[in-house]
Structure 1
């Protein structure tokens, strides 16, 4: 009985000592407070994932991933470009815009009369205004796959890896049927503009990349009356998509990507480049697939038979080579994972 009492007292003393040491360490290192949980001696200890999460958050990370996009002090190059305050998509309150950003955006593809305020107000009568808070939370680890349309996806067998991400971003005419082993079949966000529009499955976010006021009018029309059939070319009169899941890239964010990231190379960033920068602002971890040329140096879509089209590099609108440098630099600085065949 005496022996058991000594063991018990010893266990209590050790427990108090552990709490004192832990409290001192937390205070000394300025970590986040940790709740101390007492258990019976026979109970299992903290799981490895719980320990890892507490350690990661304790280090001051902006999320619970082992590495978080928004963490500062890792890359000076990244920190000079990344502005966490940028709002990636329009909200119902975005009626006024910086005149320089608005002027630049309106000069991209001039069309239609009207003011941004009026057009946005009418648009949000058709589509649901999105949430305004896109700030990452420390308890989250949002992994995102940005899937380009490059022919280098063929034979990659990346399908299951792509689908394992919590967010899967695709763009324009992306096709998955028949290519699931290489590109996956899940989509949560689909980037498009009126001239590249496709119908979407239920639950998928339509992310509109607008180049002009007409594009904002088109998305409202395509989801309601179908009155708009032309921009600078004939476009889909109606599209299938959830009205409460539409996101419209903020024109000011578009200019931010052009100024800070592509450094004004080309007339404006490509949809693929914009999708990556968008992901950097809504995700904690970003993986990039299907960008650049194939192994033979050809620029084409993975579903095309013509491997020598190379239209992307020949337009002169985007600077494909500079965008490739930026993507490679993001990878080198540890801010994205870059997958090739």
Structure 2
């Protein structure tokens, strides 16, 4: 972009000034040639000075959109210079499991197995091989680039969604990610009807159609065993579920530990499903809008679909106040937009 424009400008300006010099040189050829040489030297020097003064690092960002860290949005997730965000955001961490990245470091394996109250001896390698015999073995969402602007809505289960009328706005996103048992039927006006991904752990599993990705959050090895046995059983019984198998994804234990250590600074025992999906969204989306997180404006904590259920803000396992503080910090940094609802 820069060099062709400078060259064209050089040709145009030089030819114009040559014409002026010719008019005022009284047609003395020797004087014209002398002035022409002097002018060319001055112009070449000015051109070199401009190139030296321009910051090459700035040129690399603005002139080369092929940089894999960029996107077609106004602002991209990977293009962040805030120190608070940089020390937490690791673009290299594995997000979803595949047979190629399933090996765990000794530290990750020890931490992950420790989440189970009574760890059992499990042949992890054989278990992973079984899992990826049941559904495609791939690593999706590696398509970031200058032509992509993926907008994602992360929809929590907070009662602040009641009366929000966010439904059409939520459904307008490319990805709509929901957690656990949060329903849409009967609540479409406030929470929308579209679901592209639903994050669950075995105890929170719900029936889904074959257009929704199941994102398993394995907080323990037994969760992998459970999903493996469940999928194998349903594959034999139901052909319809075979279609659903194509949509299964497993959050990588390394990613769970990364969120716990880098983002939560090891506060609590492990991250909540909602917070894991928030950080996951930062890694697979270019713009993230967050709905249904936090208390209602009257300070009450409950699910939009069950007012009897009191949400515990802080537990020994989850530090909800810490997680929400981070969400608000991301909002202040314009990394996400937090819709606080009613």
Name the TM tier (shorter chain). 0.7 to 0.9
Matched with 1:90 is: 97
Matched with 1:317 is: 317
Cα pair distance change 1:226/1:245, threshold 3 Å: closer
Cα pair distance change 1:290/1:319, threshold 3 Å: same
Give the superposition deviation at 1:55.
8.1
CA contact (8 A) 1:130 1:247 kept: no
Structure 1 segments, 4+ long, off by >6 Å, are 16-19, 24-27, 58-61, 238-241
User: Residues of 1 paired with 2:216 and 2:68: CA distance?
Assistant: 34
Q: Which of the residues 236, 243, 246 maps onto 1:244?
A: 246
CA contact (8 A) 1:223 1:241 kept: no
More displaced stretch, 122-131 vs 183-192: 122-131
Matched with 1:258 is: 260
Give the superposition deviation at 1:142.
0.6
User: Residues of 2 paired with 1:106 and 1:60: CA distance?
Assistant: 35
User: Residues of 1 paired with 2:111 and 2:200: CA distance?
Assistant: 20
More displaced stretch, 106-115 vs 191-200: 106-115
Structure-to-structure mapping, 1:68-107, within 5 angstroms: 68-73=76-81, 75-107=82-114
User: Residues of 1 paired with 2:151 and 2:64: CA distance?
Assistant: 16
Q: Which of the residues 16, 20, 32 maps onto 2:8?
A: 20
Cα pair distance change 1:119/1:58, threshold 3 Å: closer
Give the superposition deviation at 1:311.
3.6
Q: Which of the residues 136, 142, 147 maps onto 2:144?
A: 136
Give the superposition deviation at 1:182.
0.7
Give the superposition deviation at 1:239.
7.5
- 1:225 match: secondary structure: helix
Q: Any stretches of 5+ residues in structure 2 without a counterpart?
A: 11-46
Matched with 2:207 is: 199
Map Cα deviations across residues 112-165 of structure 1 (whole Å, 9 max, x no partner). Answer: 432322211111111221326625212100111110000000111111111111
Once superposed, what is the RMSD of the aligned Cα atoms? Answer: 2.9
- 2:210 match: secondary structure: coil
- When normalised by structure 2's length, the TM-score is 0.78
Q: Which of the residues 220, 233, 244 maps onto 2:228?
A: 220
Cα pair distance change 1:241/1:107, threshold 3 Å: farther
Give the superposition deviation at 1:67.
1.1
User: Residues of 2 paired with 1:240 and 1:198: CA distance?
Assistant: 16
Structure-to-structure mapping, 1:1-341, within 5 angstroms: 20=8, 31=59, 57=65, 62-73=70-81, 75-109=82-116, 110-131=118-139, 134=142, 136-225=144-233, 242-306=244-308, 309-313=309-313, 315-341=315-341
Give the superposition deviation at 1:29.
6.6
Give the superposition deviation at 1:267.
0.6
CA contact (8 A) 1:65 1:284 kept: yes
Q: Which has the larger radius of gyration?
A: 2
Map Cα deviations across residues 208-227 of structure 1 (whole Å, 9 max, x no partner). Answer: 00011121122122222169
CA contact (8 A) 1:199 1:239 kept: no
User: Residues of 1 paired with 2:272 and 2:219: CA distance?
Assistant: 11
- When normalised by structure 1's length, the TM-score is 0.78
